[in-house]
Amino acid sequence: MGVRGASALASASGSESLVLGLSGARNFTKLASNPALWVNASLRSVHLIPASVSQTDASNLGGAFNTFLDFLLGTAHAQSSPTMRRINPRPGGLNGPTITFNNDVTGGPSTDLPVREELAELIEDVAVSTGFDINVNSTTGHPTSSRHQQGRAADVNRINGVRADNPANVTNVTILQDAMIVHGNANQVLGPVRNVNIWNGATTPITNKKLINDHRDHIHINVPR
Do 155 and 52 sit in the same domain of this protein?
no
Do 60 and 114 sit in the same domain of this protein?
no
Triad 119, 122, 126: Cα angle to 5°: 150
Do 110 and 206 sit in the same domain of this protein?
yes
Q: d(Cα 12, Cα 3) in Å, to the nearest integer? A: 14
Q: pLDDT exceeding 90 applies to what percent of the chain?
A: 52
Given a cut of 70, is residue 221 above it in pLDDT? yes
Q: One-letter amino acid identity for 176?
A: L
Prediction pTM value: 0.64
Given a cut of 90, is residue 25 above it in pLDDT? no
Do 69 and 97 sit in the same domain of this protein?
no
Helix, strand, coil percentages, rounded to 5, for the chain: 25, 30, 45
Do 71 and 93 sit in the same domain of this protein?
no
Q: d(Cα 23, Cα 167) in Å, to the nearest integer? A: 61
Do 73 and 106 sit in the same domain of this protein?
no
Largest CA distance in the chain: 70
* Average pLDDT of the segment spanning 197-218: 93
Do 165 and 123 sit in the same domain of this protein?
yes
* Average pLDDT of the segment spanning 39-43: 48
Given a cut of 70, is residue 104 above it in pLDDT? yes
Q: Which stretch of DSSP H or E encloses residue 62? A: none
Do 188 and 102 sit in the same domain of this protein?
yes
Do 124 and 22 sit in the same domain of this protein?
no
Q: Residue 147 has what pLDDT?
A: 84
Q: Residue 166 has what pLDDT?
A: 97
Do 127 and 205 sit in the same domain of this protein?
yes
Task: Give 201's pLDDT tier (boundaries 50, 70, 90).
Answer: confident
Q: Which of 80, 100, 127 is the last residue of a domain?
A: 80
* Average pLDDT of the segment spanning 3-25: 35
Q: Which of 62, 80, 98 is the last residue of a domain?
A: 80
Q: pLDDT exceeding 70 applies to what percent of the chain?
A: 61
Do 37 and 106 sit in the same domain of this protein?
no
Given a cut of 60, is residue 19 above it in pLDDT? no
Q: Supply the mean pLDDT for the chain.
A: 74
Q: How many domains does the chain have?
A: 2
Q: One-letter amino acid identity for 175?
A: I
Q: Residue 112 has what pLDDT?
A: 93
Could you give phi then psi for residue 220, rounded to 5 degrees? -110, 130
Range of the domain at 113: 87-222
Do 74 and 109 sit in the same domain of this protein?
no
112 Cβ contact partners less than 8 Å away, ≥ 6 residues apart: 86, 87, 101, 139
Q: Which of 26, 59, 80 is the last residue of a domain?
A: 80
Contact, 101 vs 86, CB < 8 A? no
